[in-house]
Amino acid sequence: MKRRGDGELGRDHSRACDPDEAGYVERDGVRVYWERYGDSAPTILFLPSWTILHSRLWKAQLPYFGRHFRALAFDPRGNGLSDHPAEPSAYSEEQFAADALAVMDASRTERAFLVAPSLAAQRGLLLAANHPERVEGVLFIGPTLPFSPNHPGRFAYPPDVPLPSYEGWQKFNFHYWQQDFRGFLEFFYPHVFPEPHSTKQLEDSVAWGLQTTPETLAKSVAVGWMDSEDEALALCARVRCPVLVVHGTEDGLAPLERGRRLAEATGGELLTIEGGGHAPEARDPVRFNLLLRDFVAPSATRGSSFVRAASRPRRALFVSSPIGLGHARRDVAIARELRALVPDLQIDWLAQDPVTRVLEADGERIHPASRHLASESAHFASESTGHELNCFEAWRRMDEIFVANFMVFHDIVESEPYDLWIADEGWEVDHHLHENPELKTAAYAWLTDFVGWLPMPAGGEREAFLTADYNAEMVEHIERYPRVRDRSIFVGDGDDIVADRLGPDLPLIRDWTMEHFDFAGYITGTEPEADREGLRAELGYRPGEKVCIVTVGGSGVGTHLLRRVAAAYPQAKRLVPDLRMVLVAGPRIDPAAVGAPAGVDVHPYVHDLHRHLAACDVAVLQGGLSTAMELTANRRPFIYFPLARHFEQRIHVAHRLDRYRAGRRMEYADSPADVIGQAICDAISSEPDYLPVETAGARRAASLIAELL
């Protein structure tokens, strides 16, 4: 038996969590891969829909249900880590049902609730009718059963006969699959996801489909599916467990009438999703998760006591983004000012490493449920290559983590009363609240220091299309549900906003932001140091030495820059004999991995790093806004190397620093160690001429937020 992290299974930081148990079960020479998450009754078995998809289909469900219950999933024979048997008969519905039972046996599961999407409705019916002692209930999604005619054209052409041309549903053809399997998948999945802004779900599904072969998929069709209405009705008549059928009104594969007929035939309940497609578990994961939770355990969220509203203290839940430590410092500053305005306010923090290090050092209360958060920083670090990070794509590929972390947030606010929610770039909170506005139960304030996803030239037309689509969805969210955000606060001034457009036929970013946001001014989180010489003495820097601080933030992206600057030390030391170089690796980089030469100090996480930055003679950094603005506020010379393909650092941050006339921008690819050594020397001898940074931003932000209490 294998667990995630062993052998070919590897460690994937885009996943919200790893399974607690994973392995293979073998039947008739065919190995089927399965996973278990959690160990609390009852058990939920997520069935595979068809050979075209593997168990990653359930990525938005398994982390949540593994926390609360016991969740099982397996790759269908023919895809993922399961075997691809050669005989078409190996892909019958009876074989898939038998695989489900074998997985239950291998995982020591006596009874389970079944989740049966699409074609899995057939194997779900077989299990519920033929093995009632093993099935506690079934939730069907867009069932593919012979209860009504197909959508026009759906199976109008025989799949095994070559056709003179392939348009529309003619592409559901074995011969076409051999010619252009990707083309078939790209035609097929828009029928699964008719909802606007489904680009990520479409992209995932095509990628998962490519993990089988056209030959294997053809075998799974050739064996035949249940096509007798009488057979299906006979199975339905033998179902004795609870049944819930979930069906989208815009389902492009299974007509809604099939869901109605299945619910009637099993004595179950039908829940329709107006405007929904064939896969609500992927396109509306939060709503689907709550539906499934209430089906499996209707009283799961009922508490044993409650506090009358008049007796409750005022409470705020603060969600602080872990991508960089600057958010943490400014959020602590806002919290401090907020308590000054509302002295009886209790603030709980939903946060993860490395933000929690800042919060703990400042004595803040971290909500215990924070331990369930999936690591966003580890994901971003895993997405980087050298000194390159496609920030937008890394953010897009964090969708599983976002769903999992939003469910943690929702668990908290559903069970505990809060007067106020604050999210500083808590993207998961903001996105899923707008997707599910009925879940909002408290005043909500949103903070950010940039607006607008922007494409990088290397991304071509595809990235330009995707960023515009994400921006369009954001605009639609705000226009359709302005009540979700009670306050939108931009951390900066109007002139800090770039002049770009959100996309074709979309507003200019500056115009749209000015209309929808209040402005706090920049929030450094600290006051500029007035006595720099006294500070240097306090921190242990000797008179006359030239201190160079090198830092790359808290996300774990930056090892290559640290190594390059460390290699520049001998050259810089020759040019500046009194140079002292201090490298701060941050909480996610092993200092030993930097390979610093003798004479260079290397430290891990430094809580009071902002004080060292204020005391230095020059700093070298990656390109994050918070550190650069701290240096600007303290009028310290600095050099910054924005990550390649990182639109925020290269467009939004660069624009703001240019406005403040701050820092020297250099390109990592064009800067060998000797060039960096010379740049350090030049910066030390320069005299900054920056625009002043206002210091009342935290107070302004707190005042705007306090109005909501």
Backbone angle region of 646, left / alpha / beta, with phi > 0 → left and psi within -120 to 50 → alpha:
beta
Q: Residue 106: pLDDT above 70?
A: yes
Class at the top of the CATH hierarchy for domain 309-525+699-706: alpha beta
pLDDT per residue over 480-539, tens digit each? 999 999 999 999 999 999 999 999 999 999 999 999 999 999 998 788 888 999 999 999
Rounded mean pLDDT of 670-678? 97
**What gap in Å lies between CA 635 and CA 689, rounded to an integer?**
8
Class at the top of the CATH hierarchy for domain 7-153+225-296: alpha beta
Q: Residue 91: pLDDT above 90?
A: yes
Please provide the size of the chain in residues: 709
Rounded mean pLDDT of 175-182? 98
Rounded mean pLDDT of 50-66? 97
Both tokens of residue 71? 């969740």
Class at the top of the CATH hierarchy for domain 532-684: alpha beta
Stretch(es) of the chain classified as CATH 3.40.50.2000? 309-525+699-706, 532-684
Tokens 């390059």 label which residue? 564
Residues 113, 119, 121, 125, CA torsion sign: negative
Rounded mean pLDDT of 451-461? 97
pLDDT per residue over 400-434, tens digit each? 999 999 999 999 999 999 999 999 999 999 999 99
pLDDT per residue over 684-709, tens digit each? 999 999 999 988 999 999 999 999 99
- Angle 516-521-525 from CA coordinates, rounded to 5°: 125
Inter-residue contact 159 to 174 (CB < 8 Å): yes
| Interstrand relation of 579-584 and 546-551 (parallel, antiparallel or unpaired) | parallel
Q: What is the mean pLDDT of the chain?
A: 94
* Greater pLDDT, 592 or 105: 105
pLDDT given for residue 6 in this prediction: 31
Q: Residue 260: pLDDT above 60?
A: yes
Beta strands across the sheet bearing 443-448: 365-366, 346-350, 315-320, 420-424, 443-448, 487-490, 518-519
pTM: 0.95
Q: Name the nearest CA neighbour of 631 among 619, 641, 623, 622.
A: 619
Rounded mean pLDDT of 341-362? 94
Return the percentage of the chain with pLDDT > 90, whole number: 86
pLDDT given for residue 303 in this prediction: 60
Confidence band, pLDDT 50/70/90 cuts, at residue 3 = very low
Q: Residue 5: pLDDT above 60?
A: no
pLDDT given for residue 305 in this prediction: 67
pLDDT given for residue 300 in this prediction: 61
Q: Residue 437: pLDDT above 80?
A: yes
What is the C-alpha end-to-end distance of the chain, expressed in Å? Answer: 53
**What gap in Å lies between CA 543 and CA 531, rounded to an integer?**
14
pLDDT given for residue 588 in this prediction: 77
pLDDT per residue over 364-391, tens digit each? 999 999 999 999 988 988 998 999 999 9
Confidence band, pLDDT 50/70/90 cuts, at residue 547 = very high
**What gap in Å lies between CA 471 and CA 197, rounded to an integer?**
10
pLDDT per residue over 233-245, tens digit each? 999 999 999 999 9
Q: Residue 53: pLDDT above 90?
A: yes
- Angle 227-230-234 from CA coordinates, rounded to 5°: 115
Q: Residue 341: pLDDT above 90?
A: yes
Q: Residue 217: pLDDT above 60?
A: yes
* Greater pLDDT, 583 or 7: 583
Q: Residue 131: pLDDT above 70?
A: yes
Confidence band, pLDDT 50/70/90 cuts, at residue 302 = low
Lowest-confidence pick of 149-153, 248-252, 456-460: 149-153
What's the distance, CA 591 to chain centroid? 28
pLDDT given for residue 10 in this prediction: 42
The residue type found at 503 is G
